C-alpha cells in the first residue's frame, strides 16, 4: 500500500535509497524512464537478498513511445536499464493529448500484458474521459492510474471513478511537496496520535483510498513513512485536513504538461 518514489534521484542516490527501503520493508518501488535512474534502481534490486518475486517494480515511459510498436521498444529499454526479466507495472507516464496517440500506446501495453511481458498495465495523470476512451477502445481496464493527490489537491471524484471501474489509485506527491506538513490540522492530528506530520498525511491518503508513493533517501524517514498502520484519523481530523484542498499551488495540468 506504500511504495518508494524515486524522483528526482540520480542512479547513485536511487541505488542507495532502494537498498535502504527494501531493508526497511518496502516492496513497491516506483521509477520511470524520465527519472533517468532505472539503472540505479535495478542495481539495488540485484544486490538485494530478496527474491525478485517479492518486489513489485513500476516504471513509466515517455511520449516518444506513444505508438502500438513503440511501447514494446520502451519496455525493452526499461528491461535493459533495470536488468530485470519482467516489469510488474508499466505505465504511460503522461497522456500528452496534443500528440493524440495515447490510445495506440495503450493498445501496445495491452499486447505486452497478453504476452506476459508485464504483470500489470496502467496510466499516470490520465483524466476520467481519457481513461474511458482507453477502456472503450480496448476493453481492457487499467490496473492503476497514478494521480497527484494530497490534502492540497484532493481528487475525490477521480478516486470514486477509479473505484467504480476497478482501477487502483496511486498518489504521487502525497505529501504536497512538503507544503502541507506545517498546516494546523496536520500538526494537531500528529500531536494527538504521537506521530509525525508526514505520517498523518500518508495515513490521510490511505484512508481516502489512495496508495501513496513518497520519495525519501533518508533511512529513518523511509521507516517512518511505512509506520502508518498503528493509528487511524477520525472523521473530525479527516474533515479538517480535507479543508486544505485548494489552498496550495496549482497542480500539474495533464492537458498541457507532459513528457
Residues tagged active-site: 35
Q: Rounded to an integer, what distance in angstroms lies between the CA atom of residue 158 and that of residue 154? A: 9
Q: Please answer whether residues 172 and 147 qualify as being in contact, where contact means their C-beta atoms are separated by less than 8 angstroms.
A: yes
Question: What DSSP string runs through 171-202?
Answer: EESTTGGGTTTT-HHHHHHHHHHT--HHHHHH
Contacts of 178 (CB under 8 A, 6+ apart): none
Q: Please answer whether residues 89 and 82 qualify as being in contact, where contact means their C-beta atoms are separated by less than 8 angstroms.
A: no
21, three cell numbers: 527501503
Q: Which residue stretches of 69-173 are H helix? A: 70-82, 102-114, 128-138, 156-165
* Residue labelled with grid coordinates 531493508: 23
Amino acid at each position: 500500500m506504500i511504495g518508494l518514489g524515486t524522483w528526482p534521484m540520480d542512479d547513485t542516490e536511487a541505488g542507495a535509497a532502494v537498498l535502504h527501503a527494501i531493508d526497511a520493508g518496502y516492496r513497491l518501488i516506483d521509477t520511470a524512464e524520465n527519472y533517468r535512474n532505472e539503472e540505479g534502481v535495478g542495481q539495488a534490486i540485484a544486490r538485494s537478498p530478496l527474491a525478485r518475486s517479492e518486489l513489485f517494480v513500476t516504471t513509466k515511459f515517455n511520449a516518444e513511445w506513444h505508438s502500438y510498436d513503440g511501447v514494446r521498444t520502451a519496455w525493452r529499454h526499461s528491461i535493459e536499464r533495470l536488468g530485470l526479466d519482467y516489469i510488474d507495472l508499466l505505465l504511460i507516464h503522461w497522456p500528452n493529448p496534443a500528440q493524440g496517440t495515447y490510445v495506440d500506446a495503450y493498445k501496445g501495453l495491452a499486447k505486452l500484458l497478453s504476452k506476459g511481458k508485464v504483470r500489470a498495465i496502467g496510466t499516470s495523470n490520465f483524466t476520467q474521459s481519457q481513461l474511458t476512451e482507453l477502456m472503450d477502445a480496448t476493453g481492457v481496464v487499467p490496473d492503476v492510474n497514478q494521480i497527484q493527490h494530497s490534502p492540497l489537491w484532493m481528487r475525490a471524484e477521480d478516486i470514486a471513478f477509479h473505484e467504480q471501474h476497478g482501477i487502483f489509485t496511486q498518489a504521487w506527491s502525497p505529501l504536497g511537496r512538503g507544503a502541507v506538513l506545517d498546516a494546523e490540522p496536520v500538526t494537531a492530528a500528529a500531536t494527538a496520535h504521537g506521530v509525525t506530520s508526514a505520517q498523518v498525511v500518508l495515513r490521510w491518503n490511505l484512508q481516502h483510498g489512495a496508495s501513496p508513493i513518497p520519495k525519501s533517501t533518508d533511512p529513518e524517514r523511509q521507516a517512518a513513512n511505512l509506520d502508518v498502520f498503528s493509528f487511524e484519523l477520525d472523521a473530525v481530523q479527516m474533515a479538517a485536513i480535507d479543508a486544505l484542498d485548494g489552498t496550495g499551488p496549482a497542480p500539474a495540468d495533464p492537458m498541457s504538461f507532459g513528457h
